[in-house]
Amino acid sequence: MPANKRDKASDVFNSTNYAFCSKVSFSEAFPQIKNMRVEVEEDGEGVYELSKRQVFYKENMGEFINCSNSRCYNGGFNIGSIIRNMVESKRTEFETDRRCQGYEGSPKGKKRYGPCFNSFHIKVQITYNE
């Protein structure tokens, strides 16, 4: 990987052992979810069109969705917590906005230059097994 690449939220998460948070896939963690569609629109640095749209399903969903700002360390947001909240209350649709949790900094994140202003608009649809 390039020397100046910043670890993103999912990289930091994957290299950390959270005792309280198991790293099983969403399909395994939530057998009650039949289908899931998560649409994420990102605005900010590293987004070369008006906005960047990504779609995720339970098969390719991770705990975090990364931001596109190449100077941002630990960038992205926690989609897992949004999904868990929805599943707990059996919600089928949810729409929200999140700011990037990262900051612009040195490649290993030791120096902070300032916040990352990338933002995400998130639309989630879930169907449940009977």
- Report the sign of the C-alpha dihedral through residues 47, 49, 65, 82, in that order: positive
Site string for Zn ion, 74-93 (x = CB under 5 A): -x------------------
CA-nearest of 108, 99, 124 to 45 is 99
Q: Which residue lies nearer to Zn ion by CB, 58 or 71?
A: 71
Task: Centre a 10 Å sphere on the Cβ of residue 97 and count the other Cβ atoms it contains.
Answer: 10
The piece of 13-21, 29-37, 55-63, 98-106 that touches Zn ion (CB under 5 A) is 98-106
Strand order from edge to edge, sheet including 112-115: 72-73, 103-105, 112-115
CB of 27 to Zn ion, least distance (A): 28
Site string for Zn ion, 36-75 (x = CB under 5 A): -------------------------------x-x--x--x
Residue 8, SS3?
strand
Residue 116, SS3?
coil
CB of 73 to Zn ion, least distance (A): 8
Count of residues that bind Zn ion according to CB under 5 A: 8
The answer to whether 105 contacts Zn ion (rule: CB under 5 A) is: no
User: Which residue lies nearest Zn ion, judged by its C-beta?
Assistant: 75
